[in-house]
Amino acid sequence: MSLTPLFTLSPDETGIVKSILTDNVSPAQQQTIKRLMDLGLIENTKVTCVGVSAFGSPKAFLIRGAVLALRKEEASLILVKKIRDRSVL
């Protein structure tokens, strides 16, 4: 199974969260990870990129019915498996 950082998803691409990087992260990144998990970004969650800012960061992601804007630094901590069919899960 090939995993890629969430930030690499292009608009209209979908992935399933498979891992959240927690090793060797700063205390600020730990807080960010906790906040994202509290918002429902956990393993096996379907995530779709729905937009990109003019400068490429942040990107907007559809997660459990809500749209969240994540900066590259945040979205790079989440590893996903890209899927082709949005109906998966």
pTM summary value: 0.85
Q: What is the pLDDT of residue 87?
A: 54
Confirm if 20 and 7 have CB atoms less than 8 A apart: no
Q: pLDDT tens, 6-47?
A: 999 999 999 999 999 888 888 888 898 899 899 889 999 999
Q: Using pLDDT thresholds of 50, 70 and 90, give the confidence band for residue 89.
A: very low
Token pair for 16: 């399933």
Question: Prior bond to 5 cis, omega within 30?
Answer: no
If phi > 0 it is left, if psi is from -120 to 50 it is alpha, else beta; for residue 57 that is beta
Q: pLDDT tens, 47-73?
A: 999 999 988 889 999 999 999 999 999
